[in-house]
């Protein structure tokens, strides 16, 4: 019965992934407004899932002004990136802190935990829409399509290799207190898969890319992705939540699907724009 359920979960995972792949490819290739809209949708849905995980009060998210400001600021970050104005993104983050702080002062007398809500909101804003906005900036850079596909391929290949290698050969737990199912063997397989993808991209699409840079990019992005996966797992474990949502059959929620990408995106953007 357990093996049958696992097989069904894997089948759902592949069906969902293959169904979403044409949408992702089409939006990345199209770029511009279409890609920004896809990123904005992913950011807002993931923020909603994040707040459901970290907010222990159970209160409606749409009745909490601090959280609503977070949605607006998150959308603002994506719009700034789409407009090619990364210089304004810091202003958006700063104004979010000011407005959230002001709203918390009004509630402080009746609710001393409101400051914790502000901290969770700021963390969520930096964790999700800020990271995703860097994808919009990366897409608009030179050879942006190639670098977005490379980033996603490294993450997806690493996730898949880690899952199946860990299932088949995993013996040593990577982080049992956070995610008992993840293994050191799976982690190594994921990094090797990412390195293989990076090497193939270098030979096929980026022949002028130096091998040391290729290896650095592939391994750094792979490690960041695994840390991102573990970070989201720690959020869920702290709140006793299994999945961030149920929107994607076989994957859970949108946040479950992009958790690795959220940590890998800043690393990829920084390496590509400033070092490679």
Give, in degrees to the nearest 5, the angle at Cα 32 between 249 and 145. Answer: 75
**CA–centroid distance for 124 within its chain:** 11
CB 44 within 8 A of CB 52: no
| 152 and 270 part of one domain | yes
Residues 174 and 112 in one domain: no
| 117 shares its domain with 225 | no
Same domain, 87 and 17: no
From the number of C-beta atoms within 10 Å of its C-beta (0-12, 13-18, 19+), residue 240 rates as exposed
Q: pLDDT tens-digit profile of 142-171?
A: 899 999 999 999 999 999 999 999 999 999
Residue 105 and residue 91 in one domain: yes
Residue 203, C-beta contacts closer than 8 angstroms, at least 6 positions apart: none
Domain boundary pick from 76, 107, 140:
140
Low-confidence ranges of the chain (pLDDT < 70): 1-11, 13, 56-62, 250-251
Do 201 and 161 lie in a common domain? yes
143-149's contacts with Cβ under 8 Å and 24+ in sequence apart are: 143/206, 144/31, 145/28, 145/29, 145/31, 146/201, 146/205, 146/206, 147/268, 147/272, 148/28, 149/28
Residues 75 and 157 placed together within one structural domain of the fold = no
Q: Which residues contact 35 (CB under 8 A, 6 or more apart)?
A: 27, 28, 136, 139
Q: Are residues 134 and 147 in the same domain?
A: no
Neighbours of 251 (CB within 10 A): 22
**Amino acid 143: pLDDT:** 92
The pLDDT, as a whole number, for residue 233 is 94
Question: Do 148 and 213 share a structural domain?
Answer: yes
52-72 pLDDT, tens per residue?
999 866 666 667 899 999 999
- Of 140, 162, 187, which residue constitutes the final position of a domain? 140
Longest CA–CA separation in the chain, Å = 62
- State whether 179 and 215 are in the same domain: yes
Same domain, 14 and 93: no
Cβ contact 264:272 at 8 Å: no
DSSP 8-state class, residue 182: E
159 & 26 share domain: yes
pTM: 0.92
Q: Tell me how far the alpha carbon of residue 77 is from its chain's centroid.
A: 15
- Domain final residue, candidates 119, 140, 161: 140
104 vs 20: CA distance, rounded Å: 39
The DSSP call for residue 60 is: -
* Residues written for the chain: 276
- Tell me the C-alpha distance between 127 and 84, whole Å: 21
The residue range of the domain holding 54 is 34-140
Count of domains for the chain: 2
Q: Is the dihedral of CA 265, 266, 272, 276 positive or negative?
A: negative
| Closest to 23 measured CA to CA, from 174, 248, 267 | 248
DSSP 258: H
């Amino acid at each position: 019965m357990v093996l049958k359920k696992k097989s069904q979960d894997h089948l759902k995972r592949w069906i969902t992934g293959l169904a979403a792949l044409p949408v992702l490819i089409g939006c990345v290739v199209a770029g511009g407004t279409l890609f920004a809209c896809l990123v904005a949708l992913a950011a807002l849905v993931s923020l909603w899932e994040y707040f459901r995980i970290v907010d222990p009060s159970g209160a409606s998210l749409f009745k909490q002004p601090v959280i609503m400001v977070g949605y607006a600021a998150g959308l603002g970050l994506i719009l700034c990136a789409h407009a090619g104005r990364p210089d304004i993104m810091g202003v958006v983050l700063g104004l979010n802190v000011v407005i959230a702080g002001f709203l918390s002062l009004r509630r402080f007398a009746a609710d001393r935990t409101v400051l914790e809500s502000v901290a969770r909101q700021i963390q969520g804003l930096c964790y999700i829409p800020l990271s995703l906005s860097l994808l919009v900036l990366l897409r608009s850079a030179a050879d942006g399509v190639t670098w977005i596909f490379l980033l996603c391929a490294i993450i997806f290949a690493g996730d898949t290799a880690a899952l199946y290698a860990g299932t088949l050969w995993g013996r040593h737990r990577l982080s049992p207190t956070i995610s008992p199912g993840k293994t050191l063997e799976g982690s190594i397989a994921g990094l090797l898969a990412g390195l293989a993808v990076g090497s193939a991209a270098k030979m096929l699409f980026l022949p002028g890319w130096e091998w040391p840079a290729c290896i650095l990019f592939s391994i750094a992005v792979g490690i960041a992705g695994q840390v991102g996966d573990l970070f989201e797992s720690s959020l869920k474990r702290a709140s006793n939540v299994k999945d961030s949502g149920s929107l994607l059959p076989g994957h859970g929620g949108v946040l479950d699907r992009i958790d690795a990408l959220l940590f890998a995106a800043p690393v990829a953007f920084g390496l590509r724009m400033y070092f490679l």
